[in-house]
Structure 1
Amino acid sequence: MDEVAPPLFDPASPPHGHEAFTSALRDALDGGRAAHGWLLSGPQGIGKAAMACMAAAWLLRERGDEPALIGGGA
């Protein structure tokens, strides 16, 4: 199986069509109730790697950086 490199990713602009995931992730993390893991599945090319990178950026963020991550939420 060939490895596919994720596209360049701008965390301030989540991949189109993943608003439900980004909203649920933001709400869970802001509420202090993030799951210990997520299963990202689906066909090749729908943005699973980009969503994983975005989630990692959010989890590893510095306090005060929130507006720059996950769609610029306040």
Structure 2
Amino acid sequence: MKKGYAAQLFTIVKNSKRAVSYEQAAKTLKAANPNLEDTEKNTVGIKNILDRFVVNGKMKKTQTGNYKIAKISRVPVN
């Protein structure tokens, strides 16, 4: 079963060594999914998915507007 677009975007950002712009993420996602048309509407939709990950705390947005996985600080419980 193929992963959904949001899961694929999360994996793209997670596997990147550096922060990824939404244009780079969109280009990679569209290359992996030939049925996904290269339209501005789809690119904006991809940006909205990435922004939702930021709101949910799964990703961080850098000062330059790129996306990277949020580092979760684990505090030991005594």
More strand, by proportion: 2
Q: TM-score range by the shorter chain?
A: 0.3 to 0.5
TM-score by length of 1: 0.35
Larger radius of gyration: 2
TM-score by length of 2: 0.34
